């Protein structure tokens, strides 16, 4: 993926943009990451696996402000592919843009109405330092001791994706109407310049970027948290 302002802004805060087909991330989920395998959802909430006298908190993070002026820019066909994969991941039928647009030079992606939720590190550390399993669980213990457990500690969600496509041909009302029809009028299309097509889409709030920490256990003892979403694109 190209590294531009949006991605760099997120990485500096410990987040990775989600570029996979799964967008069901939520704070305090436990994911399983074994070796070179893709992470898989393990427990819908850490409270389904661990019990502790310490309380967990999820708060809004006003310090990570994502604006729709912060964009990632891609080569045209790569960008189209990423837009189609995003549509599939949020349940929108992908559009065949090639039926209306022959090609283009570049495409940018940004997000509107983004908010960030975060689990304070101190709150989670206190919880795990005091935690026990809900019941005897040898598989969970094995994964804990092998440091295979990831916990979602931050999540950026947005309401709309905005894609601006610089095309090789002039964008006219015929092209816009054809795209609106193919999207059953559920996606907004407009032309900002003669050869630039703008698409705004969203079906409710969806995950954009995720922060995750590996839970370090040593022989059954909690040993700390280690950030893993610092540019590794696990999700």
Confidence of residue 94 (pLDDT cuts 50, 70, 90): confident
For the segment 146-165, what is each residue's pLDDT rounded down to a tens digit? 999 999 999 999 999 999 99
Contact (Cβ atoms closer than 8 angstroms) between residue 189 and residue 198: yes
- The residue behind tokens 């604006």 is 67
Please give the residue that has the higher pLDDT: either 213 or 183.
213
Cβ-based burial of 126 (10 A; exposed 0-12, middle 13-18, buried ≥19):
middle
As a whole number, the mean pLDDT across the chain is 92
Domain ranges within the chain, ordered by starting residue:
5-227
Residues above pLDDT 90, as percent of the chain: 75
What's residue 176's pLDDT? Answer: 93
Tell me: pLDDT of 214 over 90.
Answer: yes
- Cα 75 to its chain centre, rounded Å, is 21
What's residue 213's pLDDT? Answer: 97
Contact (Cβ atoms closer than 8 angstroms) between residue 28 and residue 152: yes
Is the Cα dihedral 189, 74, 228, 12 positive or negative? negative
pTM of the model: 0.91
């Amino acid at each position: 993926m190209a590294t531009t302002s949006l991605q760099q802004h997120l990485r500096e805060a410990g987040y990775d943009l989600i570029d996979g087909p799964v967008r069901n991330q939520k704070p305090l989920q436990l994911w399983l990451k074994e070796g070179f395998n893709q992470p898989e959802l393990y427990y819908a909430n850490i409270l389904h696996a661990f019990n502790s006298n310490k309380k967990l908190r999820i708060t809004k993070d006003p310090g990570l402000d994502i604006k729709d002026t912060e964009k990632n820019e891609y080569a045209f066909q790569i960008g189209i592919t990423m837009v189609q994969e995003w549509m599939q991941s949020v349940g929108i039928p992908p559009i065949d843009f090639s039926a209306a647009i022959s090609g283009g030079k570049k495409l940018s992606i940004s997000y509107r109405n983004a908010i960030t939720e975060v689990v304070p590190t101190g709150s989670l550390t206190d919880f795990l330092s005091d935690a026990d399993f809900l019941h005897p669980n040898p598989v969970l213990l094995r994964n804990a001791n092998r440091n295979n457990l990831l916990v979602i500690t931050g999540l950026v969600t947005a309401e709309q994706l905005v894609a601006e496509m610089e095309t090789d041909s002039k964008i006219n009302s015929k092209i816009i109407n054809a795209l609106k029809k193919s999207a059953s009028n559920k996606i907004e299309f407009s032309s900002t310049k003669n050869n630039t097509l703008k698409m705004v889409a969203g079906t409710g709030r969806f995950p954009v970027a995720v922060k995750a920490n590996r839970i370090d256990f040593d022989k059954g003892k909690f040993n700390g948290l280690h950030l893993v979403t610092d540019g590794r694109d696990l999700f």
